[in-house]
């Protein structure tokens, strides 16, 4: 089946779901605000499938994410705002406009030049739309996950030169923030502890960025590793006829070490 027909079929399915007389009661109750959380959730499920190397799952999750786009476009079409064709045409025009090194006269541009052109084009687009940015940090959504938002703010600041040139000062900053956190812990003031802990996390994201690493993916990997080891602990305890909540701290630590060794 041609791709165009597949898209038309999906648009027809959504239109049927939203049919006032014969559609789905749940779908008919939805609006932009109620669907938005599902859109965010589906994006995370796409990232999870990628992290797990699950290509079959990725295919399904990409479909679910596409459904969100089609749903929002259908809601807009019903209100006479825009439709799916407007969304795709706008995307095509934007990609051509932001890639002059592919579609224009800037062939052979370096990665740095490509990034500069991308940002300059975005800024021009916002200015033309009457949304000129007043700060170098504008354009970073509040709704982003905290780690991702921290990294994007840091990248924005770095573009105007507010950044360390190498990783060692960043590592030193992490240590300094840990010292400040320890001092706050000794003071026992909850607000100070929260503030300093935030500084530690922010500096660790900065370190991750300088290491050309994705803090969110690194933390996701660490969480998966912890989960595997903890589940192995549970399995090993069950093999011994025990439960984790029956063990003391020393026994749990020994089991943790054993679980790590088994998983290797």
pLDDT tens-digit map of 177-216: 999 999 999 999 999 999 999 999 999 999 999 999 999 8
Q: Is residue 14 assigned to a domain?
A: yes
Is 76 found in the same domain as 30? yes
Q: Is the pLDDT of residue 4 over 80?
A: no
Q: Is residue 150 assigned to a domain?
A: no
Q: Is residue 233 assigned to a domain?
A: yes
Burial of 135 (C-beta count, 10 Å sphere; 0-12/13-18/19+)? exposed
**Domain limits at 225?**
217-263
Which is more confident, 48 or 205? 205
Is 80 found in the same domain as 20? yes
Q: Within a 10 A sphere around the Cβ of 255, how many other Cβ atoms?
A: 21
Q: Is residue 173 assigned to a domain?
A: yes
Q: Is residue 123 assigned to a domain?
A: no
pLDDT of residue 5: 83
Between the alpha carbon of residue 7 and those of residues 3, 27, 87, the distances in Å are 6, 19, 13
Q: What is the DSSP letter of 30?
A: -
Evaluate if pTM is beyond 0.75. no
Alpha carbon distance 30, 76 (integer Å) = 12
pLDDT of residue 123: 74
pLDDT of residue 95: 92
* 66, 97, 128 - which closes a domain: 97
Q: With helix as H, strand as E and coil as C, how does 217-256 read?
A: HHHHHHHHHHHHHHHHHHHHHHHCCCCHHHCCHHHHHHHH
Q: Is residue 238 assigned to a domain?
A: yes
Q: Is the pLDDT of residue 162 over 80?
A: yes
Q: Is residue 113 assigned to a domain?
A: no
Per-residue confidence at 129, pLDDT binned at 50, 70, 90? confident
* 40, 75, 97 - which closes a domain: 97
Number of domains observed in the structure of the chain: 3
CATH of the domain at 176: 1.10.287.1080
Is 81 found in the same domain as 7? yes
Most confident among 69-73, 105-109, 157-161 (mean pLDDT): 69-73
Q: Within a 10 A sphere around the Cβ of 183, how many other Cβ atoms?
A: 12
Per-residue confidence at 259, pLDDT binned at 50, 70, 90? very high
């Amino acid at each position: 089946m041609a791709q165009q027909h597949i898209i038309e079929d999906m648009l027809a399915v959504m239109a049927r779901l939203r049919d006032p007389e014969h559609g789905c009661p749940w779908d008919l109750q939805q609006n932009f605000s109620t669907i938005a959380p599902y859109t965010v959730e589906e994006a995370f499920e796409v990232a999870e499938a990628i992290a797990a190397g699950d290509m079959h799952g990725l295919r399904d999750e990409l479909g679910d994410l596409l459904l969100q786009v089609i749903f929002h476009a259908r809601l807009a079409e019903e209100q006479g705002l825009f439709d799916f064709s407007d969304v795709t045409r706008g995307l095509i025009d934007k990609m051509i406009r932001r890639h002059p090194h592919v579609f224009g006269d800037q062939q052979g541009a370096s990665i740095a030049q490509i990034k500069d052109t991308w940002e300059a084009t975005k800024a021009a687009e916002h200015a033309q739309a009457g949304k000129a940015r007043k700060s170098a940090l504008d354009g970073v959504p509040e709704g982003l996950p905290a780690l991702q938002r921290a990294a994007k703010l840091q990248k924005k600041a770095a573009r105007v030169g507010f950044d360390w040139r190498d990783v060692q000062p960043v590592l030193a900053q992490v240590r300094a923030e840990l010292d400040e956190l320890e001092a706050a812990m000794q003071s026992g003031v909850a607000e100070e502890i929260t503030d300093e802990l935030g500084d530690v996390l922010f500096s660790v994201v900065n370190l991750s960025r300088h290491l050309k690493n994705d803090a969110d993916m690194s933390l996701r990997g660490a969480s998966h590793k912890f989960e595997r080891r903890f589940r192995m602990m549970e399995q090993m305890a069950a093999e011994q006829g025990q439960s984790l909540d029956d063990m003391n701290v020393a026994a749990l630590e020994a089991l943790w070490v054993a679980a790590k060794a088994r998983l290797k």
